[in-house]
Amino acid sequence: MAVTMKDVAEHAGVSLPTVSRVINDTSYVNAETRAKVLAAIEELQYVPNQMAASLRSNNTKTLALLVPDIASSFWTTVLRGVEDEAMARGYHVFLGNTDDDPAKEARYIDGLVRRRIDGLLIAPTAKSVPLLRRLRQQGMGCVVVHRPVSGLEIDTVRSDAYASAVILTQHLLAAGCRRIAFIGGEIEQGRLRAYRETLAAAGQVLDPALVRIGPLSEQVGEQLVNTVLARNPPPDAIFIGNNRLATGALHALGRANAQRSEPIAIAAFYDSAALSVYAPPMIAAIQPAYEIGRYSTRRLFDRLANKPVDGHEIILSNRIMIVSGAHTPSLEPAAG
């Protein structure tokens, strides 16, 4: 049916492995022979069968990235970083969307293992540790993206959310805010901890009603803001711990602030893509999504090549940005 390497070999008048050598550039081939083979490939419109190659050579030239939320610009930006790095090496990337659901995650991973992908980049759910452990036992190259994993020494690439959260909280305190609400996601405990500890260090007592955790979506962001705003007395600042929540939360806050003389101060984990769409005055921590994607992938390739690497955690720093009154976000970095 389809054109195979054998056909190409016959057409070019050479042996089959020679064709393979030309294609993969894997051994010496005479320039004339190479030309003949390339001509035959062109003429027959031959496309190599990756299945057969993978079966024999034991690698698929394929990675996978499992993200919790494909609709988040953070994750799509990570994907871009991963793809750029992978494609440059001739690899393809399988993208999977887990919705932070362990069952979905498991289903994906089963399919990926069946397909013998070479390596996995994953933002694991809270319950994925045993799964990760098993994967590593099976010898699958794994890098955890953007989320710290406890109880398992595994390569991780993330930004230092804790440190940024401290800076953001301190900034609000320095601005004189005394009732700082927090909204965030279940999985991002580090940011909540940073907020709590920074308030405590400053001798502030926090109103538990001002801390709201919820699933990561725009709608929830909006709801959580409305919930904390309804508290009496209302907060004088809000810390938004997640970029997806932020998109909804900022709109709610925009409407609320429009009707106040004294606006509610805002600190948020936000996103450079989202920033260019909507950016009210606030202090924001912008996570280096693209770089996280690239570094994760590089680390994965290093592992696959058995290169020695030092440490199993790569921590990138967020960009702290102060957005002033104008809509167009100022580009002055406030800290590293």
Cα–Cα distance for residue pair 250/243, rounded to 1 Å? 10
**The one among 6, 89, 107, 178 contacting DNA by CB under 7 A:** 6
Binding site for a second copy (CB under 8 A): 2, 45, 47-52, 54-55, 60, 62, 70-71, 73, 76, 79-80, 83, 87, 92, 94-95, 97, 107, 110-111, 113-116, 138, 218-219, 222, 247-248, 251, 255, 273, 276-278, 327
Among 35, 39, 57, 71, contact with DNA (rule: CB under 7 A) = 57
Q: Which of 13, 132, 120, 116 is nearest to 64 (CA)?
A: 120
Nearer to a second copy, 83 or 155 (CB): 83
Contact residue for DNA among 11, 18, 147, 190 (CB under 7 A): 18
CA angle 113, 117, 118 (to 5 degrees): 125
Residues 6+ apart with CB under 8 A from 331: 321
Q: Distance from CA of residue 52 to its chain's centroid? A: 32
**Which of the stretches 41-49, 148-156, 299-307, 314-322 binds DNA when contact is defined by CB under 7 A?**
41-49
Closer to DNA at the Cβ: 8 or 194? 8
With CB under 5 to 8 Å by kind, the binding choice for 92 among DNA, a second copy, none is a second copy
3 state DSSP class of 193: helix
> Out of a second copy, DNA, none, which partner does residue 20 contact, by CB within 5 to 8 A per kind?
DNA
Instruction: Work out whether strand 319-323 and strand 282-286 pair parallel, antiparallel, or are unpaired.
Output: antiparallel
Side chain identity, residue 158: R
Beta strands in the chain (DSSP E): 62-67, 92-97, 119-122, 141-145, 156-159, 180-184, 211-213, 237-240, 265-270, 282-286, 313-316, 319-323, 333-335
Nearest distance from C-beta of residue 97 to a second copy, angstroms? 7
Using the CB atoms, write b or e for 239-266: b if 16+ within 10 Å.
Answer: bbbbbbbbbbbbbbbeebbeeeeebbbb
DSSP 70: T
Q: Is 213 in the site for DNA (CB under 7 A)?
A: no
Stretch that binds DNA, among 9-17, 97-105, 244-252, 317-325 (CB under 7 A): 9-17
Q: Is 20 in the site for DNA (CB under 7 A)?
A: yes
| Minimum distance, C-beta of residue 44 to DNA, in the bound complex (Å) | 10
What is the binding site for DNA (CB under 7 A)? 1-2, 4-6, 14-21, 23-24, 26-33, 46, 48-49, 52-53, 55-58
